[in-house]
């Protein structure tokens, strides 16, 4: 008798779990959080989309890709913008908390741009030189054909996807301790614009008031700057996808919004804002 009751209890509990609470209520408010590189694009998407879809409220904030992923894992955001791929450790946390592997949507492309002060005579650098500069092994501009002046390094905080991507694909080691970390790409651009000996990196869309440094894959190849053409052909060596991450497959208002972002209309805004379309 007792075992029968136990089984009944278990069955009822499962049914409650499956049927009673199967679906989260559809929300007309979409919270977007994450990459600072993507924040101006995400804000533009939200602004334009809400004009033609007044019933949907979209709230966009930055904070960095790492912050966005954490918010996705703890349920504080619906969409996480990330300028890097989710790490395995982050996927494990998402699995543990929400029992899903997450949904990855590539929504734009970006060329990580190397910023120099316009007064700097240096115009191009190889990936190897950039690595040595950011590791702190090359300390003076004269070592790369510039003036006899100490190099001032500017970069992003470690919660930034750009920080991680640049470290993994360019620096390939630890950043020099002298690298000054700044909150947001705009701050990096601003610092380099004011510092004749400064060098920084960040999204292509922010590159105003500075000189864009040509980047060479190696000594023998030609330098290039990030343009739609050089990114499409793969000539520019530091390109990446920009992603949106969701906990589950999108439904309702969220699905409509994401479909719109990937539509020609949404991708047109990508170009307008200085990024590059996915296709």
Partner 1 sequence: MKRISLIALMFVSALFFKANAQEATVNEKLSEVNDKVTGITERLATDEADLQKLTKIKISGYIQAQYNKTYSLASAPMNNYFSLRRARVKFTYEATDGVKFVLQPDFSPQAITLKDAYTVLNDRWTKSFSLWMGKFNRPNYEVEYSSSQREVLERSSVIRAIYPGERAIGAKLEFNPQSLPLHVQLAIYNGADALQIKKVDGSFLYDGKNTFVSAADENKDFDNGKDIMLRATYNVRLGNFGGLDFGAHTYFGSLKSMSTSTLSSDYKTATAANVGDAIKRNWVGGEFQLFADILGGLSVKGEYIAGKNATIGFKPVAAAGTAAAIAGLPNFQNNFAGYYLYFIKNLGKKNQFALRYDYYDPNTDVKGKDLTAAASIAGYANADKTYAKKITTSDLATTTIGLALHHYFDDNLRITLEYDIVQNEKAGAANVLTGNYTKLDGTSTGGKDSAGNALPAGLDYSKLINNNLLTLRIQAKF
Tell me which residues touch partner 1 (CB under 8 A). 2-3, 6, 9-10, 13-14, 16-18, 21-25, 70, 73-76, 88, 95-101, 103, 173-174, 177-178, 247-249
Measured from the CB atom, the residue of 34 and 226 that comes closer to partner 1 is 34
- The CB-of-238 to partner 1 minimum distance in angstroms stands at 20
- The CB-of-130 to partner 1 minimum distance in angstroms stands at 18
Measured from the CB atom, the residue of 23 and 121 that comes closer to partner 1 is 23
Return all residues near 51 (Cβ < 8 A) that are at least 6 apart.
none
Measured from the CB atom, the residue of 16 and 228 that comes closer to partner 1 is 16
Measured from the CB atom, the residue of 19 and 222 that comes closer to partner 1 is 19
- The CB-of-29 to partner 1 minimum distance in angstroms stands at 13
- The CB-of-276 to partner 1 minimum distance in angstroms stands at 26
* Phi-psi category of residue 69: left, alpha or beta, with phi > 0 → left and psi -120 to 50 → alpha: alpha
Q: Tell me the torsion sign for CA atoms 71, 73, 79, 80.
A: positive
- The CB-of-21 to partner 1 minimum distance in angstroms stands at 4
Measured from the CB atom, the residue of 5 and 55 that comes closer to partner 1 is 5
């Amino acid at each position: 008798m007792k075992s029968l009751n136990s089984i009944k209890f278990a069955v009822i509990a499962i049914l409650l779990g499956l049927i009673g609470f199967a679906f989260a209520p559809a929300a007309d408010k979409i919270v977007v959080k994450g990459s600072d590189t993507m924040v101006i694009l995400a804000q533009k998407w939200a602004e334009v989309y809400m004009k033609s879809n007044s019933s949907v409220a979209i709230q966009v904030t930055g904070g960095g890709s790492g912050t966005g992923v954490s918010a996705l894992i703890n349920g504080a955001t619906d969409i996480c913008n990330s300028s890097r791929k989710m790490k395995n450790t982050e996927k494990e946390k998402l699995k543990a908390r929400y029992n899903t592997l997450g949904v990855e949507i590539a929504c734009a492309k970006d060329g990580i741009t190397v910023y120099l002060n316009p007064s700097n005579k240096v115009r191009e650098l190889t990936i190897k030189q950039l690595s040595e500069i950011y590791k702190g092994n090359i300390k003076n501009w004269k070592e790369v054909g510039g003036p006899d002046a100490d190099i001032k390094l500017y970069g992003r905080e470690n919660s930034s996807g750009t920080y991680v991507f640049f470290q993994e694909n360019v620096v390939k080691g630890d950043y020099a301790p002298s690298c000054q970390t700044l909150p947001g790409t705009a701050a990096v651009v601003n610092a380099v614009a004011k510092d004749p000996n400064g060098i920084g990196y960040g999204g292509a869309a922010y590159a105003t008031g500075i000189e864009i440094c040509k980047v060479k894959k190696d000594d023998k190849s030609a330098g290039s700057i990030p343009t739609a053409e050089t990114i499409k052909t793969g000539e520019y060596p530091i390109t990446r996808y920009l992603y949106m991450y969701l906990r589950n497959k999108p439904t309702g208002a969220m699905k409509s919004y994401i479909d719109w972002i990937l539509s020609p209309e949404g991708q047109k805004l990508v170009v307008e804002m200085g990024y590059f379309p996915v296709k």
